[in-house]
Amino acid sequence: MKELSEKMSQFTGTKTVNACRMSRKEAEKVIGRKVYNDSEDREDEEGYLVKYADDYLSWSPRKTFEDAYSCSETFLERMLIEHKEVKERYIKGREFSFTQAFRQLSDEERGLLRKQLDQMEGYLYTLTKRIEVELSETKGRSE
């Protein structure tokens, strides 16, 4: 297994799909084939029917799907996703800036990373304010 791991590289992917909550049994009827097979027959297992851009249909167990996807129907949901992703990268960058590896970078590289992190912080602030405004407007419309 170690040999195989050494041959592998890390990949990061992002896909936008359409999906709806559906049990495995219901999904099999829609798709017209078995979509999940393990030692237990869990046809009532909750999950999502997933439609990809090329119209391919599949089914995914609830936890697997929800770990990989977030609802992005509204611009508020898309801003929340972007905020979460940028914040995670910002935190990783800040943590890196306190490491020995950061101190070993050239003055120019350290300066550029600091500038990048400062700009990310400003962008996060702006996103946070836009989210707050939208949430207060949404609350005002619902009252």
Residues 102 and 96 sit within 8 Å (Cβ to Cβ):
yes
Cα atoms in the 13 Å half-sphere on the side-chain side of 83: 16
pTM of the entire structure? 0.76
Domain ranges of the chain: 18-68, 75-142
- Per-residue pLDDT tens, the chain, 143 aa: give them: 677 778 888 777 788 999 999 998 899 999 999 886 554 556 678 999 999 999 999 999 999 999 999 999 999 999 999 999 999 999 999 999 999 999 999 999 999 999 999 999 999 999 999 999 999 988 777 76
